[in-house]
């Protein structure tokens, strides 16, 4: 199957999932707020497809994350009934009881999935646009995942302050945990770290010049200082 047909199949499947989960959401206002990400991100993927076509692996990972996010937006992240579904499926086994959890951990899972599923597409973007290599091809996706996770927590806090009331509480979804934001960022970071470790191990196995590329990426390319000396050089060039 061609890349285009594969992406169209993913898009059609996601549209069906999104429409199905858009019917009678638990909190309609929160559903709309949660879907701002979808309203921005999906059209962006569509308009950039011809200029920057990602791999089928990247599109699949993005698709999986968006499906998880869409499920969370239908129920709100704090009320996705995953434990009830598991009990019905297994005849009574409760993951929450087995782990001793007192809260709904679907939000933690999706933050982990954010790092695990999106770090690789970010890596592909950096490799092809910024032409990063070696160490930076693994560190920067991790770093970007961590920074965007922190940015999202700030946006979430700002939205909760702006809207307030039940909508703000539903969107924030802390469930009474004062360290919720920090734990969410940790989950995303662990997911991204795992994704990059797995990618590195695969490349160690497949890429013959892996070690040389890694070492070369850490070598100083320009020994001249930047800062004021770079400004002086640029001013001399303009003169």
pLDDT digits (tens, 9 = 90+) for 105-138: 898 999 999 999 999 999 999 999 999 999 999 9
For residue 230, tell me if it sits in a domain: no
Residue 163: its pLDDT value, please?
65
Among 74, 98, 72, 69, smallest CA distance to 86 is for 98
Query: Residue 37 and residue 30: Cα distance in Å, rounded?
Result: 12
For residue 100, tell me if it sits in a domain: yes
For residue 132, tell me if it sits in a domain: yes
Question: What residues make up the domain containing 34?
Answer: 3-218
Query: Residue 82 and residue 88: Cα distance in Å, rounded?
Result: 10
The answer to whether the beta carbons of residues 215 and 136 sit under 8 Å apart is no
The answer to whether the beta carbons of residues 132 and 140 sit under 8 Å apart is yes
- For residue 175 the two structure tokens come to 């469930």
Helices 136-163, 165-172: inter-axial angle, 10-degree rounding: 160
For residue 120, tell me if it sits in a domain: yes
- For residue 79 the two structure tokens come to 């009320």
* Structural domains in the chain (count): 1
For residue 98, tell me if it sits in a domain: yes
Query: Residue 171 and residue 183: Cα distance in Å, rounded?
Result: 16
For residue 225, tell me if it sits in a domain: no
For residue 233, tell me if it sits in a domain: no
Q: Which residues of the chain have pLDDT under 70?
A: 1, 163-178
For residue 239, tell me if it sits in a domain: no
């Amino acid at each position: 199957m061609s890349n285009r047909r594969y992406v169209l199949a993913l898009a059609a499947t996601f549209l069906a999932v999104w429409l199905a989960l858009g019917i009678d959401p638990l909190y309609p206002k929160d559903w709309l707020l949660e879907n701002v990400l979808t309203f921005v991100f999906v059209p962006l993927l569509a308009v950039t497809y011809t200029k920057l076509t990602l791999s089928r692996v990247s599109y699949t990972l993005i698709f999986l994350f968006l499906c998880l996010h869409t499920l969370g937006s239908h129920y709100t992240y704090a009320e996705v009934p995953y434990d009830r579904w598991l009990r019905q499926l297994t005849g009574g086994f409760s993951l929450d009881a087995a782990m001793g959890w007192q809260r709904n951990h679907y939000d933690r899972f999706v933050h982990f999935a954010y790092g695990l599923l999106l770090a690789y597409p970010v890596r592909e973007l950096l490799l092809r646009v910024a032409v990063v290599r070696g160490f930076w091809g693994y560190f920067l996706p991790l770093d970007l995942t961590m920074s965007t996770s922190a940015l999202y927590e700030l946006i979430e806090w700002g939205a909760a302050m702006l809207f307030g009331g039940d909508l703000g509480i539903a969107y924030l979804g802390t469930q009474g945990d004062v360290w919720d934001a920090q734990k969410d960022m940790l989950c995303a970071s662990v997911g991204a770290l795992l994704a990059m470790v797995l990618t590195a191990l695969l490349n160690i196995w497949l890429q013959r010049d892996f070690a040389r590329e890694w070492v070369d990426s850490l070598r100083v390319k320009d020994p001249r200082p930047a800062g004021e000396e770079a400004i002086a050089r640029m001013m001399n060039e303009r003169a």
